[in-house]
Structures are given as C-alpha cells and as structure tokens.
Amino acid sequence: MSVFIHNGLRTPIGVVNGQYKSIRPELLGAKVINQLFYRMEQPSIDTIFCGNAVGTGGNIARLMGLYSELPNTIPAVTVDMQCASGMMSIEMAYAHIASGLMNTVIAGGIESSSLQPMRRYAEYDDRRGDYMVAQFSPEDSSPLAMLEGAERTMIKHGVGVEELNPYIIRSHQCAQHAKDKGILSPYILDIEIDGKHCIDESIRSSMNEKLLNRMKPLLGPHSITTAGNACLTHDGAAFVTLSNQPGPFKIIQIMPWAGDPLYSPEGALLSTKKILDVTELSPTAIDVFEWNEAFAVISALFGREYPNLVERYNMLGGALAYGHPYGCSGAMLVLHCMAALSYCNGRYGLCAIAGAGGTGTAMIIERV
C-alpha cells in the first residue's frame, strides 16, 4: 500500500538556553500536532510516533498527546534512535500504514537540550556517577563521543578546515536566503513567547572564513573540531501527517542503516548509498539531498562522493545553520526536503541522517 505525506510543521529552532530555555519539549510538540490536527479535512489519527533522545524518560510521546488538544484515545509511542529518532518515527508510521495496520499517523520528534536532565548510574553499575550523555559504543563511554567520532572521521578521510569552511559558510548563506524568500514559511509554526516571535536562532548570515579560523579547537590544541564545524545543541519540534490516501508527497523507500559506532558521521553517506542501491535510482535522479550536517565533515563527504551534485545538497541550509535538536532533526529534514522540492520544481528528494552509535536512516520521497 502506498504511503503519502500530507502536511508538516515545525517550530522555529531555539539554541540551548535560548528562546525555549524553560519550555518543555512535550509542550512544544503539542503546539505542532494541534495545528496538524486542525488542518486535517477529516481529523482521525490512529497513533502518534514521536522521536526523543535526551528527554526526561517515560513515554514522552504520550505525555505530549495528553497536553495537546487531540483526543486522549489516540495512542502515542516514543522512539529513541538518538539523532535518527525523528526519521525512524516516520519509518515506523510508514510501516504501519503500508502494512494496512493503520490509515493515518502523525510522526516526528521533539527535543530540548536546554532541559536535558542529569542522570545517575545505579549503585552496582560499574560505570558509576552522574551522566548526561548515554554510552553509544562498547569501546567508548566518553561524554564527548560524538565530537570524538567526528574528529576520527575527519582524520580517517583526511579532511581539514580548508575543506570544511566553505560548506559551513554556504549552509548559513542558504538558510538566510531561504528565510528572506520565505521558502520554509508554510512549514514553520508561528510561536510567540512573552510577546516575542520565536525565530530560528542559530542562522548567521555573517559567517565567514575569518570568524571560523578564530574558533578554538574543542578536543585539544591540535584537533580539527570547533564550534564552527560542529553544530550547537538545540530545542524544537517537527512532525508530519502520513496517510494511505493520495497526498502531495509519496514515500518511495525508507530504511535504517548501521555501521561502525566510532565513525558515526559516515552514516548519512552510507545510508544514502544503501537506499539508492535498493531503489536502483541514480544519484543524478535525485533533485534534492537533505542530509543532517551535525558536523561539517558530513557535508565534505557528500562533496567528495557527489561533486557534481553539491548545488542539490541542503539547498535551504542545513543543521550547521538551523541546529540539531536531536530527536526532531530527522523530521526537520523531511519538511525541508518537501519545501526544497516545491521550490525547485523537483521530483525526487533524499533525506539521510547519521545517529549516535553508528546508526542512521535514509528516505526517498517523490513530489506527485
């Protein structure tokens, strides 16, 4: 059975301790799913799948649903695939609809890095002590595992700052252009807090080579990783409505990927290769590539693999500009892909995201 995306919305994305510093993620998510529910011609939802990576635990998806104005008879499921959680929630929705188990589903994700709780290992757990970052690999329990993974990936592929900087600048410039043209406006919920309209807080149209070169290494004096080529942490929510009824975007294929957890940034590239192989689509058939550029090395890997297609890559800007609110980033990619396809009058869009622990998800949609 075919599965279509009918609508989608996200909040403006807030930087950690910024505009949403005291707003719980389930409340942000409730605002988004309320609007999606209102926009349905025949409001009937079978379930909600909601990605979340660093929340307060429990079934935060159900809590979000109960805070919303949707009927309390709609089940809700929380999905944790870390950075890939939002897209995995869409994959789960797709599978339930394609199999005939459900007809209409809301799927996406929520996150608040500002309210990420401190946790403590149990008394008899050999890791002991307080922690905020989960362990992603048997070989690495460092709280800096993701930064270190990016550093390892850059060293493995011989990527330096001179190759990274143009992608960072381009991401901010493309995001600013999209903002100026209002390309994403149909997909961004208008939110006001204390009389101020919320915005995508991390876009820096003035980003330049000189500024990037002044940024200090994050992993010691000789490391490549800086706050410029690694995205900041963020808060936000993003969801789409999926159905077996015809809609403006059709899901062609969606699938997970897994590989070496010590080089997790490779996930976007490798999951892209996998889904192109399965669908037998040529890279040149893809009009829009949306990758979650949590680190600029991810963009560099795209440029090396598909040098003639860079103009199709994150054409509205990527996570280096908008941010990476972990659990909702995968759904953000899908929204941006939908907007970009409409903007360029394209047919196929490919979304890919790498996740902590060497996981990832890729998805191809068709504008119909």
Q: What is the pLDDT of residues 327-349, one digit of tens each?
A: 999 999 999 999 999 999 999 99
Give the closest residue to 359 by CA, choosing from 119, 53, 97: 53
3-state helix, strand, coil in the chain (%, to 5): 40, 25, 40
How far apart are alpha carbons 315 and 328 in whole angstroms? Answer: 20
Q: What is the mean pLDDT of residues 275-301?
A: 98
**Would you state the pLDDT for residue 55?**
94
Q: Which residue has the tokens 């990037």?
A: 212
Residue type, 169: I
**Would you state the pLDDT for residue 341?**
98
What six digits make up the tokens of 155?
């060293």
How far apart are alpha carbons 219 and 187 in whole angstroms? Answer: 37
- For the whole model, what pTM was predicted? 0.96
Q: What is the mean pLDDT of residues 213-237?
A: 91
Q: Are the CB atoms for 249 and 5 separated by under 8 Å?
A: yes
Q: Would you tell me how many other CB atoms lie within 10 Å of the CB of residue 268? A: 31
How far apart are alpha carbons 341 and 347 in whole angstroms? Answer: 7
Q: Would you tell me how many other CB atoms lie within 10 Å of the CB of residue 275? A: 21
Element (H, E) at 327: helix 326-344
* Domain 249-367 annotated CATH 3.40.47.10: yes
**Would you state the pLDDT for residue 144?**
87
86, 113, 212 from 146: Cα distances, Å: 18, 15, 20
How far apart are alpha carbons 6 and 239 in whole angstroms? Answer: 11
- Evaluate if residue 42 carries a pLDDT over 80: no
**Would you state the pLDDT for residue 245?**
96
Residue 33 binned pLDDT confidence (cut-offs 50, 70, 90): very high
Q: What is the mean pLDDT of residues 21-38?
A: 97
Express each pLDDT in 71-85 by its tens digit.
999 999 999 999 999
Cβ neighbors of 77 (< 8 A, separation 6 or more) are: 47, 48, 49, 50, 59, 61, 62, 89, 92
- How far does Cα 107 stand from its chain's mean position? 13
Numbers of helices and strands, H then E, in the chain: 10, 14
What six digits make up the tokens of 176?
């600013």
**Would you state the pLDDT for residue 308?**
98
Residue 315 binned pLDDT confidence (cut-offs 50, 70, 90): very high
Question: Please, is 190 exposed, middle or buried when counting C-beta atoms within 10 Å of its C-beta (0-12, 13-18, 19+)?
Answer: exposed
Q: Is 170 helix (H, G, I), strand (E, B) or coil?
A: helix
- Evaluate if residue 183 carries a pLDDT over 90: yes
- Evaluate if residue 351 carries a pLDDT over 80: yes
How far apart are alpha carbons 339 and 178 in whole angstroms? Answer: 10
Higher-confidence position of 145 and 180 = 180
How far apart are alpha carbons 55 and 27 in whole angstroms? Answer: 12
**Would you state the pLDDT for residue 43?**
81
How far apart are alpha carbons 306 and 289 in whole angstroms? Answer: 11
Q: What are phi and psi of 367, to 5 degrees?
A: -80, 120
**What percent of the chain has a predicted confidence (pLDDT) above 70?**
100
116, 150, 241, 278, 299 from 256: Cα distances, Å: 26, 20, 20, 12, 20
Express each pLDDT in 189-202 by its tens digit.
999 999 999 999 99
Q: Are the CB atoms for 26 and 63 separated by under 8 Å?
A: yes
Q: What is the mean pLDDT of residues 282-289?
A: 98
Average confidence score pLDDT of the chain: 96
**Would you state the pLDDT for residue 41?**
79
Express each pLDDT in 93-152 by its tens digit.
999 999 999 999 999 999 999 999 999 999 999 998 999 988 988 988 888 889 999 999
Pairing of strands 4-10, 249-258: antiparallel
